Amino acid sequence: MNGLVIALVVSAFAGTIIFWWRLSSRPASPERAGAQLNHHSLDSALGMTEMFANMPDGILVTNTKGIIEYANPSFCLIFELSDDPSGKTIMEAIRIHQVNELIERLQEEGSVTHEEFSLPNLEQRYLQVNGVAIREKQGKHRGAILVFHDLTRIKQLENHRQEFVANVSHELRTPLSIIKGYVETLLDAEPDQDSTNHRFLKKIENHSNRLTFLIEDLLTLSRLESGSTGFEENNVNMCDLVDSVFDSLKVMAEKKDICLKNKVPEETVVIGDNQRLFQALNNLIENGIKYGGQCVCVFAQIIENKIELCVEDDGPGISKEACERIFERFYRVDKARSRELGGTGLGLSIVKHVVQLHGGTARVESTPGEGSSFYITFPLRAHKSSSLEKEPTTVA
């Protein structure tokens, strides 16, 4: 069940619970209670109860004091409860601090969505939680409802996929290295560059290199997704880092006669892993060179408590539909051109994961025919100056 469906279910359930509490918390004459039941339809309330009792997701309802008012069978199954926890506090019933903290947050924030955590007392159990605070029309707080979705199976399958990709990539490395070694030896022994043998060997070499890049990207992405990649926090000067990326891509840019401009202020500093940030910027700028027009420009600005870097090109642009999927692994805007240029389809997915590893976000803005702007945003944890003005460093 996705987040939207869960939110709708929670909203519907909130109305039913408020109705029950109003009946139970207000002294009422039989005539008044009967009028309320007619208004809210007893059959509808019973139907809602039956629906939530049979839901695969766990449903938990608490009052303002944190006492459990309702827990469906799935909640009891997820938390391995043999008895109905109604009437107990969270800590008495399940002793999970994260759930208690979520309920406290609900009182302040009103809702929580897509919160994930693992259960410390249950082996390899992962949950996703969505919740809303229950309030009357007057705004009075009446309690909270949480929906628990068991992600354990999904997490297990994801771990299997990551392990498979990592193992296959490692196994392919050795034979591919041997193939490349023999091809290089044969090319050195073939003096005639116009011969058929030489042309065939060059094709083998080019595709071997492409496979090598793909394997390296797969391994990198697998490590980033699993969290097994090393992460060293340092003060990273982003202006210097962009210059380093420009230097590594200078030959490629010169071959395509593309101008590279660094407009990042000299004192722009991000706390992060220098190697990973280099990789992310390298992928973005390399894409700008491959698929852009005549110029790739990098600039930065401070927005509230964040540093935003932008890699901008004047290329053909990207459609709205493609922008929505551009950071997906193996997604390519122009498949034919990507194959021609040797892209793996993983570069932007790696960018997204590197940025998320630093607590940031990645997005793209583009209009067909008007170029593209890729934005990566990081928390402003260290910055030596508020000035964001600098003469551009140009590499042509």
Residue 135 has pLDDT above 60, yes or no: yes
The pLDDT value given to residue 165: 77
Q: Verify that 188 and 270 share a domain, yes or no.
A: no
> Is the same domain home to 199 and 317?
no
C-alpha dihedral over 86, 92, 93, 94, to 10 degrees?
Answer: 150
Confidence check: pLDDT of 147 > 60: yes
Residues 241, 307 share a domain: yes
What value does the CA radius of gyration of the chain take, rounded to a whole number of Å? 28
Look up the pTM and report it.
0.60
Single out the residue in 229, 250, 284 at which a domain terminates.
Answer: 229
Does one domain contain both 136 and 200?
A: no
The alpha carbon dihedral of 203, 209, 213, 214 has a sign of positive
Residue pLDDT, tens place only, 214-233: 888 888 887 787 766 667 88
CA 241 to chain centre: 24
Q: How far apart are CA 234 and CA 40, in angstroms?
A: 60
Residue 42 sits in the same domain as residue 85: yes
pLDDT given for residue 241 in this prediction: 94
Displacement of CA 118 from its chain's centroid (Å): 18
Which domain range does residue 66 map to? Answer: 3-150
Same domain, 223 and 345: no
Handedness of CA 183, 184, 186, 192 (dihedral sign): positive
pLDDT in tens, 267-322: 889 989 998 999 999 999 999 998 878 899 999 998 888 899 999 998 888 888 88
Task: Please identify, among 92, 119, 150, the residue that sits at the C-terminal boundary of a domain.
Answer: 150
Q: Is 56 in the same domain as 81?
A: yes
Residue 115 pLDDT class (50, 70, 90 cuts): confident
Torsion of CA 200, 201, 207, 208, to 10 degrees: 160
For the chain, strand residue ranges (E) read 58-62, 68-71, 111-118, 126-135, 141-150, 234-237, 259-263, 269-272, 295-303, 306-313, 361-366, 372-379, 393-395
Q: Are residues 179 and 277 in the same domain?
A: no
The total number of structural domains in the chain stands at 3
Q: Does residue 122 sit in the same domain as residue 254?
A: no
199 & 284 share domain: no
CATH code, domain carrying 39: 3.30.450.20
Same domain, 284 and 391: yes
Domain ends where: 88, 121, 150? 150
Cα separation, 58 vs 102, whole angstroms? 15
pLDDT at 339: 56
DSSP assignment, residue 230? -
**Do 142 and 15 share a structural domain?**
yes
Angstrom distance (rounded) from CA 130 to CA 122: 20
Here the tokens at position 67 are 């006492």
Please give the C-alpha separations between residue 141 and each of 19, 85, 122, 192, in angstroms, as whole numbers. Answer: 14, 22, 32, 83
pLDDT digit string, tens, across residues 179-200 = 989 888 988 887 777 788 888 8
Q: Is 283 left (phi over 0), alpha (psi -120 to 50) or beta?
A: alpha
Q: Indicate which CATH number applies to the domain containing 281.
A: 3.30.565.10
